[in-house]
């Protein structure tokens, strides 16, 4: 649930192109509560609140409480720049976990990526989450030439964050560099047991696939959208094999399916059916049960994709 487009940061790779000028959209608290109820009816076991920066939404703690009361697990994907006492209390509850993106041990490099000097704040709040015993995972995103992701991983471990993965730039939103957004930038699991609802009510297979709207919850129920023809068409589109893969690495996956194994696992070349073990480490639609111990992952399993550690 992408509850806001507002963020203190303006990251150079943000899929949602969020920033300080963003807003909370047209979805009211009542709308989000209705979506949570519909998720329960659909058999969903976990909801994730993301943005933008979800901690900037004035009703985040109330939405967390509402989801927990209905038996759902909750993950909050946050930049952890600022966490109020009220939100720490919400995060401390059983059934809640946190996720965060991480970039560098160098505060200056971190600032070049997120466009604010927030390295120390995020690091301190990661440490505070660990101290409180709140489950937390992190995704290290390699964006800049020469970025030392191994050192970033060691820094996370020093803070106490042991659940993390590494991904490369996905060319969507502000991450566009040399090509248009396409399914080649996705992990291959979009729409497979997951769905995203945006602050304007748009429904996508995942937050990265924003050009693939399947409907809007202001005009139809989530159940009708998820089971409707538009979402079926989106899933069909996401099932296409990428024809730009390196054919040296092709492997038969079934009678009518060919998938290729990219030379660099978890590179942006990973895409639907390109290789089921690939996917973004910071994948916002990972469930709270995501764990590297799930390896290896396939599209039909609810665990993390393969990450470089």
DSSP sequence for 136-198: EEEEEEE-STT--HHHHHHHHHHHT--EEEEEE---SGGG-SSS---GGGS-S-TTSS--EE-
Do residues 11 and 174 make contact, with C-beta atoms less than 8 angstroms apart?
yes
Q: How many Å apart are CA 57 and CA 51, to the nearest integer?
A: 9
Q: How many Å apart are CA 191 and CA 206, to the nearest integer?
A: 6
Q: For residue 133, is it left (φ>0), alpha (ψ between -120 and 50) or beta? A: left
The encoded tokens of residue 2 equal: 């992408």
Residue 165, SS3 per DSSP = strand
Residue 146, SS3 per DSSP = coil
Positive/negative CA dihedral, 304, 223, 203, 273 = positive
- Structural domains in the chain, CATH included, are 1-309 (3.20.20.70)
The encoded tokens of residue 263 equal: 């030379």
DSSP state of 2: B
Model pLDDT, residue 17: 79
Among candidate residues 81, 61, 59, 50, the one with its CA nearest the CA of residue 282:
50
Cβ-Cβ contacts under 8 Å for 123 (sequence gap 6 or more): 155, 159
Name the β-bridge partners of 167. Answer: 141
Q: How many Å apart are CA 309 and CA 296, to the nearest integer?
A: 14
Place of tokens 């939404």: 57
Model pLDDT, residue 144: 66
Q: Where are the alpha helices (DSSP H) in the chain?
A: 29-41, 60-69, 85-91, 107-114, 119-132, 149-159, 222-226, 229-238
Mean pLDDT, each 10-residue run in order, the chain (309 residues): 94 80 96 97 95 96 98 97 98 97 91 92 98 95 78 94 79 55 56 83 82 89 92 73 36 35 37 37 38 34 32
Q: How many Å apart are CA 80 and CA 124, to the nearest integer?
A: 9
Model pLDDT, residue 250: 35
Residue 112, SS3 per DSSP = helix
Model pLDDT, residue 189: 59
Backbone angles phi, psi at 35, to 5 degrees: -65, -40
250 burial (CB, 10 Å; 0-12 / 13-18 / 19+) is middle
Do residues 2 and 199 make contact, with C-beta atoms less than 8 angstroms apart?
yes
| pTM, rounded to two decimals | 0.75
């Amino acid at each position: 649930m992408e509850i806001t487009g507002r963020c203190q940061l303006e990251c150079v790779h943000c899929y949602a192109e969020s920033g300080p000028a963003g807003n909370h959209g047209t979805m009211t608290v009542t709308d989000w509560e209705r979506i949570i109820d519909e998720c329960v009816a659909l058999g969903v076991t976990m909801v994730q609140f993301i943005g933008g920066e979800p901690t900037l939404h004035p009703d985040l703690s109330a939405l967390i409480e509402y989801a927990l009361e209905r038996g759902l697990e909750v993950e909050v994907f946050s930049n952890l720049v600022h966490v109020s006492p009220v939100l720490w209390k919400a995060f401390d509850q059983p059934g809640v976990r946190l996720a965060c993106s991480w970039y560098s041990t160098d505060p200056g490099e971190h600032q070049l990526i997120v466009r604010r000097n927030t390295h120390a704040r995020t690091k301190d709040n990661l440490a505070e989450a660990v101290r409180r015993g709140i489950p937390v995972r992190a995704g290290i995103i390699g964006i800049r030439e020469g970025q030392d992701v191994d050192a970033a991983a060691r820094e996370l471990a020093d803070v106490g964050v042991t659940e993390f993965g590494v991904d490369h730039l996905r060319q969507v939103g502000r991450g566009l560099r040399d090509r248009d957004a396409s399914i080649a930038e996705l992990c291959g699991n979009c729409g497979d047991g997951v769905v995203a609802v945006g602050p304007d009510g748009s429904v996508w297979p995942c937050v990265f696939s924003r050009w693939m709207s399947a409907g809007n919850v202001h005009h139809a129920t989530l159940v009708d959208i998820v089971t409707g023809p538009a979402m079926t068409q989106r899933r069909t589109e996401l099932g296409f094999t990428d024809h730009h893969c390196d054919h040296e690495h092709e492997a038969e996956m079934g009678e009518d399916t060919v998938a290729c194994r990219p030379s660099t696992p978890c590179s942006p070349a990973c895409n639907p059916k390109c290789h089921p073990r690939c996917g973004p480490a910071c994948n916002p639609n990972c469930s709270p049960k995501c764990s590297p111990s799930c390896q290896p992952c396939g599209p039909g399993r609810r665990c993390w994709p393969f990450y470089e550690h």
